Amino acid sequence: MSQSHRLMNGGRIDRSKQIDFYFNGRLMSGYEGDTLASALLANGVNLIGRSFKYHRPRGIVTAGTEEPNALVQLERGSRTISNMLATRIPLYEGLDASSVNCWPSPSYDVMAVNGLFHRLLPAGFYYKTFMWPVSGWKVYEHFIRRAAGLGKSPEEPDADTYDKMNAHADVVIIGAGPSGLSAARAAAATGARVILVDEQTELGGQLLNETFEIDEKPAADWVADVEGELMANPDVTILKHTTAFGYYDHNFIGLLQNRSDNVAYGEDGRTRQRVWRVRAKRVILATGAIERPLIYSDNDRPGCMLASALRAYVNRYGVTPGKRHVIFTNNDDAYRSALDLKSAGAVVACVVDVRKDPSGELVSRAIEAGIEVIDNSAITGVLGSKKIRGIEIMKLTDDGENVTGKPRTISCDTIGSSGGWNPVVHLHSHSAGKNTWRDEDGVFVPGDTLQAEAACGAANGSFSLAQALNEGDFAGIDACSKLGMTAKKRPAVGKATADVDETPWRTLWYIPTTKPAGQRGKHFLDQQNDVTVADVQLAAREGYRSVEHAKRYTTLGMATDQGKTGNIPGHAILSAALGQTIPQTGTTTFRPPYSPVTMGALAGRAVGEFFDPIRRTPMHDWHEQAGCLWEDVSQWRRPWYYPLEGESMQDAVSRECLAVRNSVGMLDATTLGKIDIQGPDAAEFLNRMYTNAWLKLAPGKCRYGLMLGEDGMVMDDGVTSCLGENHYLMTTTSGGAPRVLAWLEEWLQTEWPDLKVYLTSVTEQFATLQLAGPNARDLLSEFTSDIDLDPEAFPFMSWKDGTVGGIPARVYRISFTGELSYEINVPASCGLSLWTDIMNAGEKYGITPFGTETMHVLRAEKGFIIVGQETDGTVTPIDLGMDWIVSKKKPDFIGKRSLSREDTIRDDRKHLVGLKTADPAEVLPEGGQIVAATRPEPPMDMIGHVTSSYWSAALDQSIAMALVKNGRNRKGDTVYVPMKDKTIACEIVDPIFYDPEGSRMNG
């Protein structure tokens, strides 16, 4: 396909480097230096997609980040990215883009029928739909789901990598247009560390789109000179193709850098994008301005563009957007577009100016160039839908609120409108800066801020080139002088050649037709979300007086472009409808990100194996070779169960359970948290933290403890041993260790700094081998000669030091399985060899390694709780039936007072009970809801839920624990667990199913 709209000469493109690309499967070509948008326009394509709500045909509006319409799906498969702006994609060989939100194609779209039913889709359509009766939802759900969303998410893992960088700077300058470059030059001359950021691939900002001269030379030469100067300075970092997406407290800035020229692919060995986290001493916002459109009837037709975009395509890309152009303006600046088009040889049908007798220098030049200027007039209609055929214009009344006289039709295919410029105050607003309304030209400019920040140039509402150059210079000097840095020799400030004075704008927020808004064409404010003037007026009539509410109701400015072009006109329309001024209405708050940021960039390297660290025990490789399946317990990876060939999970777990109950099994218990507690006040400290008494625990003894929050709810549990005078070892749950350590530290540091207690985490210093089962003692005796294993000498809940297998060891006789059990702690580095030796020696007993699942079954048979499974932060020890561990004698401990609060002593609290299913073979689902009486269908009154449920091989029946309202007083009652396809009846029983006397673990 030929580049029908490409000029023979001009532009910053390289005509010697042709680039082929695909749009909607069609092969086209452009040149190096093009964006996808400029290449499409060069090929005469300006039907890019369909709009969100009405599916109206849409084309390219702008040449930059403010683009509302030209969204494409870039690439396919693992590299596909949705909602990319065609105006921001540098063209590359083989680029493959397609339209979003239309099917089967943008020129024939089946959902366009929505446009015919627009009266059914008014402002607040979604809110109103959600408030309709449930039956209405069934009708509309299908419609809404199909219509919702732009583009498609990738369905495959991202093929590229991303990373992050931290940086510090004296001065960060955002925007490398004339003001930003001036500021960078001035700041760099002081020796300051400067970071200069610009979202475009080249420095120069708006200068790239203009025909300006600086210091009697083309502006591009000045830009190149300044860039060379800055590049030579080692203290200056220039980040091109990098967007400052967020500006946060204490001068912290988030930058998104595109590291590859090719925006969809990482380059060899490079990350595709990088997020920079920058802390700046001073920030200079040189973010420029965005042209605002005039809001005329059917201003969304493909070919309705911004005036500045027309000259950007001509000057920068050597492309004429159309064959016959009309400029529609309220200011002098838009005449530059008419002049630039004309001098490039393009046809300018006319300039339609809403002002009476415009008289500026640029106007005169246009008239001299032979361009027809039609004053005091408005575009009242756009002819054509997929392509503009012409416009209809009428004279404005004096107040600008109506049109009058006979309409005139002008043939054209492209309209460039300009309603003036809005400073880009977004970043200033991110960091809580206020915006000030400037009445003379109707713009918000940056006002007070909390940050060490200044704005300059167009971002500061100073729109001329001379102002930009001078303000930038001042901002650079001022920022550095505030840091105590001055330049020995000040660089020269660029001087704008032949800067022209411009005459005032005529602010006209709404361009009237012969009918009220919405009755003759649509006046679009937010083209991406399809919000019209009529929608905003409707919101005002329906009582939405706050701009923040009106925004959410109409969705004005809530699309991915955040209303960069349409917000201010929208707020002006709302103000008019409410009969108040724009500053009275105010603006909505801009929030990060300034433009969309990929999830990949935010995640950085924290994906896959780097998502979260994995903690492995010293015996990890043995478990892996034994073919275990893994369970993640916080960051720990623990063996879940060890299936043999052909075994199901239940087969394996039952086999492991029976091995422990009948002979001996071994569990890797290394992950249990271990906190070494030392100091003269250690016992007193434990006494305050645990619910039971600790002052009299003798060295050599172990005690189970329950820890509560100050609200009386169970927080953690574990066994703590007295290792010597003033020396204890606390164990915690595997997942709770960091939290418990932090909790203990908090009390010591903030409430009881007088207590002499020192805490050290020693979890990873020891490997812990838990040997459990009736043969545990016999097997262990083969490995130790210096530890007396006789039950009299080494009873339950005590510990002994000695050697096991020749390795220094501390053996605790404690049990979570209800069997005779020893926990052997050895230095971590010896864990694997001892584990292997014991496994080998235990073969004669049929020793069986067991995982967390078997451990859970065995402890549930004993009615032992797991914190976080039987408890959920709303459960007291009394609820658990563990009042035996709550001291009645201690005057105080953490959480004690809360146990006598009105709410915690209610008698209908949920209690921990056991459940026995009517059919012993039926295993209840964990989390199953429990009711006292069933009804044919929900809702039913729930009285509790199943917390743990297993098949018990030892008992040959299912077992379960549950929290049930007033459960302890319902023993023997039948309750029900209703399921989708059946109801399971069960009896409330005691939660201890196995060996209630404890003779096995005590034996």
Partner 1 sequence: MFLITCPFCGEREESEFSYGHEAHIARPENPEKLSDAEWADYLFMRKNTKGVHLERWVHTAGCRRWFNAARNTHTNEILAIYKMGEQPPKEIKAMIEKGKTS
Residue closer to partner 1 by CB (options 892, 919) is: 892
Q: Which is nearer to partner 1, 624 or 903 (CB)?
A: 903
Contact residues for 2 (Cβ-Cβ < 8 A; gap 6+): 43
For the bound state, the minimum distance from the C-beta of residue 250 to partner 1, rounded and expressed in Å, comes to 4
Amino acid at residue number 229: E
d(CA 898, CA 353): 75
- Residues 880 and 712: beta-carbon distance below 8 Å: no
901 vs 935 by CB, closer to partner 1: 901
Comparing CB distances to partner 1, the nearer of 439 and 745 is 745
Nearest residue (CB) to partner 1, 902 versus 937: 902
- Is residue 817 left, alpha or beta, with left meaning phi > 0 and alpha meaning psi from -120 to 50? alpha
Task: Using the minimum distance from each CB to partner 1, give the nearer residue, 478 or 711.
Answer: 711
CA atoms of 910 and 895, how far apart (whole Å):
19
* Least distance between partner 1 and beta carbon 742 (Å): 7
Query: Minimum distance between the CB of residue 897 and partner 1, rounded to whole angstroms?
Result: 4
Number of CB atoms found within 10 A of residue 887's CB: 15
Q: Cβ of residue 750: shortest distance to partner 1, in angstroms?
A: 5
> How far is Cα 771 from Cα 845, in angstroms, rounded to an integer?
12
Nearer Cβ to partner 1 (277/365): 277
Nearer to partner 1, 907 or 937 (CB): 907
Report how far Cα 988 is from the mean position of its chain's Cα atoms: 46
Judge whether 469 and 214 are in contact, CB under 8 Å. Answer: yes
- Of the two residues 93 and 710, which places its CB atom closer to partner 1 in the complex? 710
Q: How many CA atoms does the CB half-sphere of 649 hold within 13 Å?
A: 11
Asked whether 81 and 58 are in contact (CB, 8 A), the reply is: no
Q: Which of 9, 64, 5 is nearest to 347 (CA)?
A: 5
Smallest gap from Cβ 583 to partner 1, in A, equals 21
Smallest gap, in angstroms, from Cβ of residue 759 to partner 1?
10
Q: Cβ closer to partner 1: 708 or 962?
A: 708
Angle (CA) 717 719 724, round 5°: 140
Shortest approach of partner 1 to residue 435 CB, angstroms? 17
Nearer to partner 1, 429 or 948 (CB): 429
Output the smallest distance, CB 634 to partner 1, in A: 16
Question: How far is it, in rounded angstroms, from Cα 849 to Cα 831?
Answer: 15
Q: In whole angstroms, what is the distance from residue 146 CA to residue 143 CA?
A: 5
Whose Cβ is closer to partner 1: residue 407's or residue 738's? 738
Residue among 710 and 872 whose Cβ is closer to partner 1: 710
Chain positions contacting partner 1, by CB under 8 A: 248-250, 252, 277, 279, 432, 450, 710-711, 742, 745-746, 749-751, 753, 891-892, 896-898, 901-902
Supply the minimum distance, in Å, between the C-beta of residue 164 and partner 1. Answer: 12
CB of 247 to partner 1, least distance (A): 10
Shortest separation between residue 450's beta carbon and partner 1, angstroms: 5
Strand 162-174 to 194-197 pairing: parallel
Angle at 103 between CA 102 and CA 109, to 5 degrees: 75
Are the beta carbons of 29 and 3 closer than 8 angstroms?
yes
Helices (H), 442-566: 465-482, 533-541, 547-554
> How many CA atoms lie within 13 Å of 557's alpha carbon, on the beta-carbon side?
23
| Closest distance of CB 758 from partner 1, Å | 13
Q: 170 vs 668, which CB is nearer to partner 1?
A: 170
Residue 298 near residue 115 (C-beta atoms within 8 A): no
Integer-rounded Cα radius of gyration of the chain: 37
CB 787 within 8 A of CB 829: no
Identity of the residue, 520 or 688, whose beta carbon is nearer to partner 1 in the bound complex: 688
In the complex with partner 1, the residue whose CB is nearer, 632 or 903, is: 903
Token digits for 79?
């590299």
Q: Which residues contact 989 (CB under 8 A, 6 or more apart)?
A: 913, 914, 915, 916, 971, 972
Work out how close the CB of 241 gets to partner 1 at its nearest, in angstroms, rounded to a whole number: 24
* 456 and 185 Cβ atoms separated by less than 8 Å: no
SS3 912: strand
Q: How many residues does the chain have?
A: 1003
Q: 916 Cβ partners below 8 Å, 6+ apart?
A: 957, 958, 959, 960, 986, 987, 989
The first and second tokens of residue 128, run together, are 């109103």
Min CB(751)–partner 1 separation in Å: 5
The candidate with the shortest Cα–Cα distance to 622, out of 835, 764, 850, is 835
> Could you report how far apart the first and last alpha carbons of the chain are, in Å?
90
Name the residue nearer to partner 1 (CB basis): 23 or 893: 893
Peptide bond into 446 cis (omega under 30): no
CA separation for the pair 40, 44 (Å, rounded)? 6
Structure-token pair, residue 446: 């940056």
- 8 Å CB contact between 296 and 328: yes
Min dist CB 688 to partner 1, Å, is 10
Rounded to whole angstroms, the Cα distance separating 909 from 943 reads 10
Q: How far is the CB of 893 from partner 1 (least distance, A)?
A: 10
Q: In the complex, what is the shortest distance from the CB of residue 670 to partner 1, in angstroms, rounded to a whole number? A: 23
Query: What is the smallest separation between the CB atom of 166 and partner 1, expressed in angstroms?
Result: 8
Amino acid at 703: R
Burial call 352-370: b when 16+ CB within 10 Å, e when fewer: bbbbeebebebbebbeeee
